[in-house]
Structure 1
């Protein structure tokens, strides 16, 4: 019937759109430019595909969900995620995903699994071929978008700022150093390129056999473009994934002997000569080979010229206080394993790594340059699943991978080239050369995902390929004959009612997605106003976000901070009535957030900001705010026991409220957590001195009598330590130290 045919078209073109637009889409008016929009597009197209598929089944009066070899592992994996969400540290985060990321939450996993079955139940080999081709076309656009940014001309800045440069990015996101194109981060872009490289190589080989080689040349150029952009990402995991997947692909191709050996060798040399040329001009994927590249040779020549022109001048020694990412990653992995040991079966909850890591973060993390960063992922997909979903979640996840890898290797082993020229077929599979080489390419692409996931984590497009590459494989290896058109009885009233109901539900779900997206745009703009201290302009936008999506705690939390800051301003203007009203709203919102999400240390930290703003302006209730701030810090220290900043703030507040002995203990612990924490040493020295004089008043009394010489000496030693090790030119420390030494 026509309606069933329309449903099929909707499903197909939705999948085409998914693989074309997801890598490309981004918006500048959302809180996160890239992943948020890609995830929302995936949700939207999943709803469309779901509505079309269910309507098709209603018309056909049958439930047409194909069985696959991955059914049991997928069901176990889904059960593990549901159980983990139920017992999660934060079920809201586990369901939706960590805000701004969203990928990895239960809802996204449900979408990927649904898409897996929708694809395998509705698409055929020719549709898979189109999806793969569309993926390459989208990849070409993505790579071309990112390519000029390496040279200082980023099209994204042209779209956002109207200038073709890289000035729209902060120093932490300079595409001239590491390209990320429309993916958002270099590592994500590299993972995406590694999926496409085996496919582009395979399409080159397939079409190089034909007389018309224009398409083969395009495929060759696309492979070179992808490889060049991969170099521009400057990611070790991406380079390692390419090397391994490329070796695997060519080992399979040479072993299967589809090509005459000389022909295959020629194509191999053409491709890798092009890759080597790119490496020479732009950088090698292996660090030890970089010294032979043009950029490094030029640096050596420049350095030699500088030395010879002025032999008396020595090159400046470059110091780098940035901790190596590999060292930081090892610490994060250690914390992830410690968190899993505490929650071994079902983990801490889907996508709750940020909360789990805070509780089990190694103290050594305070010694890194990223000591105060928030880590919402383990930077290892497998450890991330282990921490957040336990051994059940990781075990079922590995079962999906292991089962698919076993089936791939088994099928690849079966494939043999038939030397009989009359049949020109393959013995194990009745397919042509192209389909078999695509199987090899899909296998290599999947291997690259496994490698990049080991050193990072999946984003939306990588998750799509992770779940749907197996579907491509099963469709190619087990084709179904759909040439015969089935006839169905006319649609009756009951069927029409069901179809209209399904369509209505899909429209409502799509509308809810849009409202959430629209609320985020209001939140994003309001948050940006807050960052530049335009609090009055931010208030209506944040309130709008909360009204549109009242169940999102991120919006309430930001609105509470905004209200507290506005209340502070009114108090300072002697408008206590308005200030009190705004303060009450801020506290009420903050109460709602921490009551519903008590394990999120970020919300507790923000509550402290709120209390600080109110306590420094509302003198009438200052004691009450200080008391609550102390409770907040104690709770925060329980959620993040190795966070040096929380420990420091707790120590300072204890000292300010007169609990000097406790303050000293906490600050001594702080200096052990982070030996280079100058502020902690400064506060510790001050409290030592107050203990030496038995002084608990704030500000300090001018008449000081030393009653505890031991504490006085500790104070002197602490400030001397600051001068000797951190701040030798700090006049304030010097003057204070001089005063203390003169005291008797």
Structure 2
């Protein structure tokens, strides 16, 4: 029974997505992890048969527990505890609960899995990655090109949700079917694993992910270093066939890599031309190359890390980058194509880790990494299967340099070391502890029921919120508010639900001809708006939404104009380098005939982004005489 819990986690998690939730991919996967880890914990509570504890296989738990403890410390002093506990809304992975869940599954694997179960786990993982790879191939062929908002044919994302996420996941799994191909003797098994390996490669390639491409370059090197040399020599013919097939696919299907190469050559040529002609620098603001945008974000993240001793030591809290980054957001971003983006990640996991959990969190992370390397050395001396598991695990710290882990990759990041520990251990003896008392079993059952109810509420709240958002877009404000209300009731600690409920209540009030109904809806909107702000006063999205909400209330009753001015001050103070935030504040204040204040905000927007046409037009509209004189 125990091993099937782990099999289910590694097989199902990457494949799960749901159309009824607001976030289709990561959120359902996170819910699955919550449920499976709860089942694992409950099973552990009532089971009396397990591998003898305290042996060398459990040595990995020391750095893992330290990593968990350091994340708890950062969460206690977090910029927003709710976000650090549950994860950033729409991302979810990386919160304290997710870390507890992964740790639980790793410990469960150490407690119940035997060596023979590791190969079976690897098989289910290979099968899951093959299914994801097949869907990616189908997307590349255009099976659902008209279904998604994103161009799935140009860059496949399969069941993971984003091309980079799919590439990172498949890179972790690719060495495993390759290993089984090399060790299999029977022809049907060799054909199956050959196809699985090739399909997984195609899945990575058709993402046209730069980090995936770099991973594919790194992978053969790691295989040559860590795979058994005799095994590679014995299968040299099939390896050549596999490499040839992969190269033919890559050359015949270059995808957007072809355009990227042309663009790169064009940029280099343009720069050489500028240098050769000794052209004077333009006085007009220039766009920063897209390839350099990440460096600008990293610069801001570095400033955030160095902003205080507390941040340097324990960070601002897991998953709080979106809030903490804003005061340190570099002005250079305003001259890029992503000038109006909200960054909830640093696009470098190590900077996310450094800003979120500080130096202590980074030390804990790398203690775990080095412990896994030590585990591999011990496991590889006993089992050849250790090599593909270790190589797959090692690809994530590499791809994390340009991205961040998601649910599917995070799960493997914690499960693979547990599997290595099982392979490298001598303690295979199964021991039987005294049967658990009725009280313990009853307690486990009650805890399971209560927790599964809480998880269900989190899931159902999001489905209600998704339905409400859809109804609101169609103008069915009354029906939408019923769903917003149930979402906020089922998950009262999520500020997103309260802020959107507040805004939608105001929309319904504005569309109602009944003055008493307007007052009733407005009163409820105020309660929801205040709740959203109380739950997370550092979320710029919440403050922007509340600014629009109070603007709507001010249209009903001018007494709320003061709140509009107050929230304009709050949101611009929170995001001092975002030109769009200043422009939006100016626009709303101009609608209320607060022209003096609106001009100040519009000027600030133009100062932050001199080529901001909309801000300049608004400034001309608000002060035509002054602007004419300036020109």
TM-score of the aligned structures, taking structure 2 as reference length: 0.90
Contact kept, 8 Å, 2:57 with 2:422, in 1: the verdict is no
Query: 2:75 matched to 1:82?
Result: no
Alpha-carbon deviation of 1:675? 1.9
> Larger relative contact order (C-alpha < 8 A, sep ≥ 6)?
2
The one of 102, 105, 108 equivalent to 2:98 is 108
CA 1:453–1:552: 2 relative to 1, 3 Å:
same
SS at match of 1:258: helix
SS where residue 346 of structure 2 aligns?
coil
Contact kept in structure 2, 1:116 and 1:468, CA below 8 Å: yes
SS state of the match for residue 341, structure 2? coil
Match of 1:162 in 2: none
- Give the Å deviation of 1:266: 2.4
- 1:267 equivalent to 2:238? Answer yes
Distance in 1 (alpha carbons) for counterparts of 2:501 and 2:297: 31
Structure of greater Rg: 1
CA 1:122–1:550: 2 relative to 1, 3 Å: same
* 1:311-366 superposed Cα distances (whole Å, 9 cap, x missing partner): xxxxxxxxxx9976532322222222222122211111111111112222111222
Task: Give the C-alpha shift of residue 659 in structure 1.
Answer: 7.2
Larger mean Cα displacement after TM superposition, 188-197 or 337-346: 337-346
Choose from 220, 224, 237 the match for 1:250. Answer: 224
Does residue 1:531 correspond to 2:473, yes or no?
yes
Counterpart CA distance in 1 for 2:51 and 2:13 is: 33
- Please tell me whether the aligned partners of residues 23 and 138 of structure 1 are also in contact (alpha carbons under 8 angstroms): yes
Q: How many residues align?
A: 605
User: Pick from 24, 32, 36: which aligns with 2:27?
Assistant: 36
Secondary structure of 2:15's match? coil
Change in 2 beyond 3 A, CA 1:638/1:77: same
For 2:270, the equivalent position in structure 1 comes to none
Change (3 A) 1:662 1:34: closer
Alignment match, 2:606: 671
Task: Tell whether 2:57 aligns with 1:118.
Answer: no
Q: Which residue of 1 aligns with 2:428?
A: 481
RMSD: 2.6
Structure 1 unaligned blocks of 5 or more: 1-8, 155-165, 292-320, 416-428, 693-710, 718-744
Change (3 A) 1:174 1:55: same
What is the rounded CA distance, in whole Å, between the counterparts of 1:238 and 1:527 in structure 2? 34
Secondary structure of the structure 2 residue equivalent to 1:675? coil
Give the Cα separation in 2 of the matches to 1:668 and 1:284. 43
User: Residues 27-62 of structure 1: CA distance to partner in whole angstroms, max 9, x if unpaired?
Assistant: 1111111111111001001000001112125x7899
Cα displacement (A) at 1:74:
2.1
Give yes or no for contact 2:57–2:425 (8 Å, CA) kept in 1.
no
- Normalised to the residue count of structure 1, the TM-score between the two structures is 0.77
Q: 2:362 aligned with 1:441, yes or no?
A: no
State the Cα deviation string for residues 277-305 of structure 1 (Å, max 9, x = none): 211222289869989xxxxxxxxxxxxxx
Alignment of 1:392-403 (within 5 A): 392-403=360-371
Alignment CA distance shift 1:583-1:657 (3 Å): closer
Q: Distance in 1 between matches of 2:530 and 2:585?
A: 20
Superposed CA deviations along residues 507-526 of structure 1, whole A, max 9, x for unmatched, are 22112111221111111100
Identify the match of residue 175 of structure 1 among 152, 155, 161.
152
Q: In the TM superposition, what is the alpha-carbon distance from 1:547 to its structure 2 partner?
A: 2.1
Equivalent in 520, 542, 553 of residue 495 of structure 2:
553
Contact 1:194 1:238 in 2 (8 A): yes
1:660 Cα deviation (Å)?
A: 6.2
Please give the residue correspondences for 1:323-342 in structure 2 after superposition, counting only pairs within 5 Å.
Answer: 325-342=290-307
1:383 aligns with 2:365: no
Give ranges in structure 2 of 5+ residues lacking alignment. Answer: 263-285
Question: Which residue of the other structure, out of 397, 403, 412, is the alignment partner of 1:456?
Answer: 403
Q: Which residue among 183, 191, 213 is the counterpart of 1:217? A: 191
Q: Equivalent of 1:129, from 106, 116, 119?
A: 119
| Other structure's SS at 1:101 match | coil
**Map of 2:174 onto structure 1:** 197
Contact residue 231 and residue 284 of structure 1 kept, 8 A? no
The corresponding residue for 1:71 is 61
Q: 2:629 aligns with which of 713, 719, 722?
A: 713
Deviation by residue 1:717-741 (Cα, 9 ceiling, x = unmatched): 2xxxxxxxxxxxxxxxxxxxxxxxx
Preserved contact between residue 77 and residue 393 of structure 1 (Cα < 8 Å): yes
